Chains A and B, each alone.
Chain A
Amino acid sequence: MDKKTFLYEEQEKLNAKLIPFAGWLMPVSYTSIIEEHNAVRNNVGLFDVSHMGEVFISGKDSLNFLQKLVPQDVSKLKKNKAVYCQLTNKEGCIIDDLIIYKLNEPDKEYLLIVNASRIDEDLNWMVRNSLGFDVNIVNDSHNYSLLAIQGPKASLLVEKLGMKQESQPEYFSIKRGEVANINVLVARTGYTGEDGFEILVKNPYSAYLWDKILEEGKEFNIMPIGLGARDTLRLEAALHLYGNDLDETITPVEAGLAWSVAKDKEEDYNGKEVIMGQIEGKIKKKKKLIGFEMVDKVPARHGYEIFIDGKKAGIVTSGGPSPVLKKNIGLGYLNLDDDTTLNTMQKTIGTNIQIMIRNKLYDAKIVKRPFIEKRYKKENV
């Protein structure tokens, strides 16, 4: 039986098309995925992402514990700031990707927002790694709803809901405050490539907040957004989807996430040898993430094979139409195992590739990621 979020009834009222996702019954679309996508790019959209997991870390060894879990340097994280991280295993591969927020509240030193499908694995891994640390790991996912307000009008809407622009958290920051007179945690993060907020609210208040956001958002042409558009939005922004583009066989370096890894972090962490070895070129990467666009009109999908010069060269991990570019785009991995031409290729952008679709090869080419410019509000950072 799939779980329902506290916003299920609101979604039924809106005639959402609901599908099972990661153990939850979630809205895939309310009207049309393309309309919802464009609403977020042009105006503002509201997402129910309450399926996501919330884990609070506290105790005197919180920092040292987190330092062991992720390749990022959590010691550099200031109060009310956030950092994009990966939970890595001993082989340097990715158990989950997550955002760590530093709250400095009693019992809530750090907030970890993790993928719905990975909560159990994450908790298991954290508990196994907590031996010897004075740390409390609290999975509070069942007590919170998560609402995302994303798009160029998001900041105006949040202001209208009672949090003035000058007191809104900056990009990749979080603060406790009131939105629609409800005490919430407001983070300036998201999964769309647009400016926006993720609002963590206690379950009893989530339906009221949802309705209030939609009501006050009318003047900004707000639309409720389903998981379908969430996927096309994140793909245009080339943001990885765990289970598609990231899994326990891929390191952050192979996934094109070396930028997020702390190169000068002194503490040891799970998989450090492999991850730093790959960054320093001492250990060979097994694969390499690429972004591509289809030259032929057909969409490529997760699991399709990539060919170069008629030889199998990799696999598509995410693919579909880009409503903004009106092209089919995708992410995938090229194998670096034994193909010497790929290993010596300094630059893959511009390379012609083919995708096997229903037993036929179609032309595509490697392009730079992200596919569209991200429009985060970073001026204050």
Chain B
Amino acid sequence: MTEQERKVPEGILCSNTHEWVLEEGSTCTIGLTDYAVEQLGDVVFVELPEIGSEFTKNEVFATIESVKAASEIYMPVGGKVVEVNEELINSPEIINEDPYEKGWLIKIESETLADDTVGLLEYEDYKEEVA
């Protein structure tokens, strides 16, 4: 088990485009899986959405630039952005170091959570799919 895998929060659900979502009270936190981060390599720039913007499931909400290329990041579930991780603007490398805690991307409020989580995988199953 890698160090990052040990930090995987209880209860996250993962999409086949390698985002994770964690329901915490009235909001959901969204980030990238350790597998995605490993594939990207050094992250050098993060473009996050504006607070208040709304996205549906599978819509592009952010762009993450590694040294080599820009990658679009998709909503694992739909919702309205209530917080973005400002730390990433000046220190995008946090995503590489800690994709599940300090490296989260956005927090949303979702009214479609029950429907949208259908088809998402628990971490263990996700890990098996990508391994």
Contact = CB atoms under 8 A, between A and B. Distances in A.
A34 B44 CA distance: 10
Interface residues of B, number: 12
B69 interface: yes
Interface of A: 17, 28-29, 32-34, 228, 231-232, 297-299, 301, 320-321, 323, 328, 358
Contacts of A33: 41-42, 66-68
Interface of B: 41-42, 44-45, 47, 63, 65-70
Contacts, number: 38
B45 A231 contact: no
Contacts of B68: 28, 33, 228, 231, 320
11 contacts: A33-B66, A33-B67, A228-B68, A232-B67, A297-B45, A298-B45, A299-B65, A320-B68, A321-B44, A328-B44, A328-B45
B47 A358 contact: yes
Specify the main secondary structure of chain A where it touches its partner.
Answer: mixed
A301 B70 contact: yes
A32 B66 CA distance: 11
B42 A34 contact: yes
A23 to B, nearest CB: 19
Nearest to B93: A34
A228 B68 CA distance: 7
B70 A299 contact: yes
A328 B45 CA distance: 10
Contact of B67 (A17, A320, A358): A320
A32 B47 CA distance: 21
Most chain B beta-carbon contacts within 10 A, residue among A17, A231, A321 = A321
A237 B47 CA distance: 28
Contacts of B70: 299, 301
A358 B70 CA distance: 10
A298 B67 contact: no
Nearest to B47: A298
A299 to B, nearest CB: 5
A297 B45 CA distance: 8
Nearest to A231: B68
A267 B69 CA distance: 44
A228 B67 contact: yes
